[in-house]
Amino acid sequence: MELLTRLLEMVGFVIGVPVGLLIGYLLFLHPQCFDVKKGPVVRPLHELDTSSLLELWPEVPLWVKHPDCERSDWMNKFISHMWPYLHTAICNMIRSTVEPLFAEYIGKYQIKSLYLENLTLGTQPPYFHGIKVHESNGNELVLEPAVRWAGNPDISLVLKISFFRIRLQLVDVQVFAIPRIILKPLVPIIPCFESIAVSLLEKVYAIDFGLNIMKVDVMSIPGLYQYIQDIIRKQVASFYHWPQTVDIQILDSSVGATKKPVGILHVKVMRAVKLLKMDILGASDPYVIVSLSGERIPARRTSVKMKTLNPEWNENFKLTVKDLQSQVLELHVYDWEKIGPHDKLGMQVVPLGILTPHSAKEFTLDLLENQNPNDPHNKKARGKLIVELKFVPFREEHRRFSGPLDTHVRNQSGTPSISEDESFSGPGLLVVTVVGAQDVVGKNHNNPYAVILFRGERRRSKVIKRTQDPCWNEEFQFMLDEAPLTEFIRVEVMSKQRRFGFLSKESLGYTDIQLVNVVHNVHINEKFNLINSRNGTVHVDVRWRV
């Protein structure tokens, strides 16, 4: 009996195992293999529901969403091949920029050393989802690329304070943004533009990164990740959102000054009607920003008119014109806000080429969102802006526009000349160009910049770090109602320390230039010895345009 039981157990095992495997295969494995063979379900976009479209929307290329956006496959291929070289060049530029700044903090605040231990941007180049090219009536080119960078950089910063060594590591950066890039002004010298202005028209869509401090991932701390994200977005918005821009100089500023001023544009901002309602109480606090394209001179601004949609300013401005045919007058209307960025009410441009010299003309301009004719936002009524414009050329340029003036006296060669009384009277433009300086030595630091003092007004140049022979090539303009026969202009070279302290600034010398010589000779270009300096000199070019 026992033998029979053993025999039945063996037979049951032999039969049960294959049958169990077969049933398991039919119940679990066979349906999965069948599903794999069917392949993924492919559906057209118009059949997807709203939630599915919203999930896919960030991944859809910009040229699919907007018909006026161009594909940029060629640019992605170009950057992909050039990335090993671009990566090295960008890293070298970052090191050369930040290392001098780090050196200034060594020895302060008990900092013994501060340096970049690792600096690599990884193997993944940025990817362009599309690019817009805007038509511009001015002397500039406007581009709006959609850029996504999901990189694998490794940026390590080492900070030694007393006996502590702190290591900060930035990894796995992801950014998606649509910046506005303006190449201006366009010049007939390679690369054919003088500078690049970068700004953000909208918020940065995505910023993600990993941050390790002492090998601890601080981004994993609950609540800290979102807090840092919000701080970064607010800082980016406050510094880089339009109209704030980051200007990158490509060519020397003297190259952009190949065209000398040809006249003065008189702008009278009169009034506006039926502006947009931006405030809660159904009104706005409008003001107007006036500027010329292709100029680095700060824009002019009207006063703010509170709580009105039909403001009246009647304010006058004078702008220097260098190219009557290519430059345009830019007018931007904003709603003033006490806190936060100012809202844009509209803008418009006026080509200077349509003006007749010496003839005032009134314009009634329909305000637009931007200069893109295909933008649907421009169909919305934004009100009108009324301005009066008048272009007055300089005397030496008058023949170019409308022939010689009757007040000119012709010499024996037949060319018009200006009488002596007219040369020494009347309004004009004083143009001061600080070319550079030599042998300017400071007692505490050498970060020189130039300061122009004239009639209580103070202008200053950029700071050139760690040099005794700075080269600025910066131009400053002063609009005068009469010739400065009895006045002088002071040019002073200063040095600025890059950190706070009691000796943060010091004078490296100054010189006073008598303007009567400039008025008589129209133009001087000389090197002047600096007072209170051992061997320092400053190179200044001064012109008087009547």
Dihedral sign, Cα of residue 419, residue 421, residue 425, residue 429 = positive
Residues in the chain: 546
pTM value is 0.47
Per-residue pLDDT of 35-54, as tens digits, reads: 444 555 666 656 666 666 55
pLDDT at 222: 72
Local mean pLDDT, 10-residue blocks, the chain (546 residues): 66 66 64 51 62 61 70 87 87 77 71 81 86 73 85 82 77 80 76 80 63 69 73 69 71 51 88 84 85 77 90 90 83 85 87 88 89 77 91 71 43 42 66 89 85 88 86 84 85 77 76 85 85 89 84
Q: Which residues pair with 450 in a beta bridge?
A: 493
Q: What order do you get walking across the sheet with 263-273 strand by strand?
A: 312-321, 263-273, 384-393, 361-366
Among residues 510, 516, 515, 517, the alpha carbon closest in space to that of 536 is found at: 510
The two tokens of residue 456 are 């209580």
Q: Which residues pair with 210 in a beta bridge?
A: 171
pLDDT at 271: 92
Say if strands 457-460 and 141-150 run parallel, antiparallel, or are unpaired.
unpaired
Q: What contacts 9, CB < 8 A, 6 or more positions away?
A: none
Which whole-number Å values give the CA distances from 149 to 79, 125, 205, 363, in the listed order?
12, 7, 12, 45
Identity of the amino acid at 92: N
pLDDT at 406: 38
pLDDT at 288: 92
The SS3 assignment for 490 reads: strand
Report the 3 state secondary structure along 171-227. Answer: EEEEEEECEEEEEEEECCCCCCEEEEEEEECCCCCEEEEEEEECCEEHHHCCCHHHH
pLDDT at 457: 86
pLDDT at 419: 47
The SS3 assignment for 389 reads: strand
